[in-house]
Amino acid sequence: MAKRDNLLNMNNNPTNPLLCDVESGMCELPDFNSELQNKATSLAIHSVRIIYFTDPICSTCWGIEPQLRKLKLEYGPSLDIEYRMGGLLPDWSYNSGGISKPSDVAPHWDEVSLYYDMPIDGDVWLEDPLPSSYPASIAFKAAQLQGETKGLLFLREIREMVFLQKKNIATWENLEAAASKVGLNLEAFSADYHGQAQELFQQDLTLARQLGVRGFPTLFFLDQKGNQEKVYGYKPYADFENAVRKQLPSVTKSTMATDWQNLFAIHATYTSREFAELSGMDRKQVDGYLQTISETGQIRKIISKNGPLWIRQ
């Protein structure tokens, strides 16, 4: 209870982008208009278009990964998801919400890790703190230029790096390592990072302001007429599913095999909470179940400070 009380007390502080409010489930930006401007109503889609504003170091965005993964598996053919970067941490030239330096973020990350039941190690802010989330955001835009699939693999990789491995994903060395691991063309990645991706990132920031995005995660669900349904902050799976169904009442849910072999064929890595969400297994049973499988050598376990990551062999 003490840790939860500490989290709730943070909510009484002025807005700070790195303090994610556990009641609203938002990592908020200061000085953004809270009223959504109708800039997306002209968007034409064939199914449900989702515009997702996120950031590589947004802890709440990491917290909703289980829900988003399940949504894609159950409704993927009817979804067109655009990933947009929001610019959570430009630099450290501010002092608000009790946060004035990187080390102030460390205990907050450890506490939200427990709240979301997703492994997050706040010690990165003590050992190798990030000066900004902009380099990682621009790198994602560069990765996207090599295809949406590669871009999302890259985003997942850098999130695992910062949240579980305590790696500073603002450094070129780590960004290049992530790009190499997911199979990006490194020459093109570097050229795009220093070129076109810079402008694409600025376009994302502009769109966020036009749409009145005030924090992350924010997802706009749009139907064929441009009608909008917004889901923001940390929400249960039902909220995301309901937003899809409201925008496309005729949508059908895909039946997915939830055995571990099929799930690990789809994604190479899972947190325990992600596996519970997708498999339907009781969360209390997941760690023991996956540990047994790991002992056969078919998956392996990476231990981090606040929870494991299970990896396909």
Show the domains of the chain with their CATH numbers.
Answer: 2-133+200-215 (no CATH), 260-312 (1.10.10.10)
Structural contact between residues 206 and 47, judged by C-beta atoms closer than 8 angstroms: no
Helices 148-163 and 172-181, packing angle to 10 deg: 130
Q: From the CB of residue 245, how many other CB atoms can be counted at a distance below 10 Å?
A: 16
Q: How far apart are CA 19 and CA 202, in angstroms?
A: 24
Q: Check residue 226 and give its pLDDT.
A: 87
Q: Check residue 86 and give its pLDDT.
A: 96
Three-state secondary-structure class, residue 95: coil
Nearest to 312 by CA among 288, 281, 290: 290
Q: Check residue 16 and give its pLDDT.
A: 61
Phi, psi of 111 (to 5 degrees): -75, -40
Nearest to 250 by CA among 47, 1, 105: 47
Q: How far apart are CA 139 and CA 76, in angstroms?
A: 25
Nearest to 43 by CA among 268, 167, 221, 225: 225
Q: From the CB of residue 37, how many other CB atoms can be counted at a distance below 10 Å?
A: 11
Q: Check residue 23 and give its pLDDT.
A: 60
Q: Per residue of the chain (313 residues), what is the pLDDT tens digit?
A: 444 444 433 334 445 666 676 665 666 654 443 333 343 343 334 589 999 999 999 999 999 999 999 999 999 999 999 999 999 999 998 666 677 899 999 999 999 999 999 999 999 999 999 999 999 999 999 999 999 999 999 999 999 999 999 999 999 999 999 999 999 999 999 999 999 999 999 999 999 999 999 899 999 999 988 899 999 999 999 999 999 999 999 999 998 899 999 999 999 999 999 999 999 999 999 999 999 999 999 999 999 999 999 999 9
Structural contact between residues 42 and 202, judged by C-beta atoms closer than 8 angstroms: no
Bond prior to 217 in cis (omega within 30° of 0): yes
Q: How far apart are CA 28 and CA 78, in angstroms?
A: 29
